[in-house]
A and B are shown apart, each in its own frame.
Chain A
Amino acid sequence: MIMLVRLCIFLAGLCAGAVSAAEPARFDAGSLAKIEARYAGKPFILSLWSVNWCGHCINELTMLGKLSKHEKNLPLVLVAVDSPEDSEAIRKTLHKLGLNHAESWVFDDPIPERLRATVDPAWQGELPRSYLYDKAHRRQAEVGELDETKLKAWLKQQRQ
């Protein structure tokens, strides 16, 4: 119930186009299904990162932050694999990188393996890791930093 309320507040925040980065929503075993349902029939980028230990993630988010300035309504879903205690650090980091409007989640499980398995059983935790979902939600996994040129080409392709 609390989760539902939180989700509603979060979604309301998104719809209202909150001016400052919101507290990341709690990502649990059911969250990805909800995200996928919300993006039904639409492409989106699921990007997994960590605020605590992943320098390559910051490189990627810096690129995504710049990209989101030119690409209005970049369909980006950010999931930090940290824990709710890190919410403030996540919010601040995304704000600094120009991603304060991006949809932001944080892992909420003492066993992160459980959440990793809901995203992809083949994912062993390395970061950054992204999934490019097309309209039909056929998705391709990208291990390591996203390549900006490739990503732009993919976005262009999705609009056709």
Chain B
Amino acid sequence: MDRMNTVPAGCRNLARAAALLLLSGSAGTALSHEHAPLPNQGQAASAPSAKPSLAVSATVDARGRIWLARVENRTILVAYSADAGQSFSVPVAVNPQPENIGAEGENRPKIAVTRHGTLHLSWTQLLSKPYTGEIRYARSTDDGKTFSTPITLNDDGRLTSHRFDSLVSDGGDRLAIAWLDGRDRDAAQEQGNTFAGVSVYFARSDDNGASFQANRKLTEHTCECCRTALAWTTAGPAALWRNLYGTHTRDFALALLDSGRLQRLADDEWNIDACPHHGGGLATGGDDTLHAVWYTQGKNRQGLFYRQVKGDQMSAPMAFGDPRAQAGHATVAAEGQTVLITWREFDGKVYGAMTLLSRDGGAHWSAPRRMATTANAADYPIPLIHNGRTQIVWNTLQEGVRIMEVE
């Protein structure tokens, strides 16, 4: 009964979105070629993890093509658009074996592309034991025609929480992937000790993803269930995550992966034993200034905030979004002095994809703008900047993937 309710909605959506070649028939065709036919499609369709997912990731290559990763039937599909989303290439499957890919809430596959066109993908494979997972990676060095066999990056061999991956490329051969990791908590518990939260671990590659160095620990005692974020500064990759201060205070921290020195992003003082399930975003415009967005319900401030971080200097937290419209899940992109923030609101009737734009490195901002609305399920909007062009990508059940010009 439930299934019957879901499937036609999905089909309606696919039919409507057929104009976007990405979806509907073309996706099915591509999959049939890859898997001729999917042997367990029926089972996959009835498994809970096969719930239709709207979570997508997007990036832009040096030729201005927008690459999109999404999840369908336990498979990551990658396609590009050379005409700002009017049409998409035939999607190519990344993982040859179907797996339970985290693609709900803030979980989604991550995609990055280098100057030379290598596509990097990371994702969280959810395992059957609750809250356990593996951090997975695959790449394409032939313009997205084929992908390497997926590998598991976490190297501890434990069945524990490896989730909430984030991925960043320096545009060349260097790559970093960070995630929330339960290995230290489990080890402590085995010794009969308590351990607040989990840890942040990361893996680095200096050869364009051909190989990865051993996992390294960035920090211990972090919140367990918010997305992480990475950005590549002139001083190397920087990470943002919801940290645990003491055992209850869930405020954001950031650090350069190389130095590991922690900076508290803000003294929000959100003291709760709960899962906010609501992370932050991080970007850099190619210099050493970080643009951070985050969400808190702390004692000192509540809602969505933006601030710049340059070394030890931080701008004052700037509130944005309408808290009465449950504004949340912000993401930020930057290129040079252009900074674009997106987030989602719900006004009681429809979801809105919201934007804020700055052309002077975050000193001054446009008025908030509602770029589009939808009256059904929706992903969070994603900001894209390339060659001064500002766009957002928004996947919604009714309208499919939309790419819209901000300015």
Contact = CB atoms under 8 A, between A and B. Distances in A.
Interface string A102-128: 000000001101101100010011111
- Counting from the closest, the 4 A-B pairs by CB-CB distance are A110-B377, A113-B346, A144-B274, A144-B272
Interface of B: 2-3, 5-6, 48, 51, 104-105, 130-131, 224-225, 272-278, 295, 297, 323-324, 326, 328, 346, 348, 351, 376-378, 397
Nearest to B398: A110
Main secondary structure of the interface of B (DSSP, over half): loop
Contacts of A125: 276-278, 326, 328
Contacts, number: 84
A126 B297 contact: yes
Contact of A53 (B48, B275, B376): B275
A144 B105 CA distance: 19
Interface in A40-89: 50, 52-59, 83-89
A126 B2 contact: no
Interface residues on A, range: 20 to 34
Contact of A87 (B2, B5, B275): B2
A126 B6 contact: no
Contacts of A89: 48
B386 to A, nearest CB: 31
Given A110-B377, A124-B328, A88 B275 contact: no
12 contacts: A53-B277, A56-B275, A58-B130, A85-B3, A110-B376, A110-B397, A111-B351, A111-B378, A124-B295, A124-B297, A126-B276, A145-B274
B48 A57 contact: no
A50 B104 CA distance: 13
B346 A114 contact: yes
- The residue among A58, A126, A143 with the most chain B CB atoms within 10 A of its own CB is A126
A84 B5 CA distance: 10
Contact of B225 (A53, A83, A114, A129): A53
Nearest to A23: B2
A127 B397 CA distance: 25
Given A126-B272, A144-B272, 11 more contacts: A53-B277, A54-B225, A55-B224, A55-B225, A57-B275, A110-B376, A111-B351, A124-B323, A125-B277, A143-B274, A145-B274
A114 B326 CA distance: 10
B275 A85 contact: no
B250 to A, nearest CB: 9
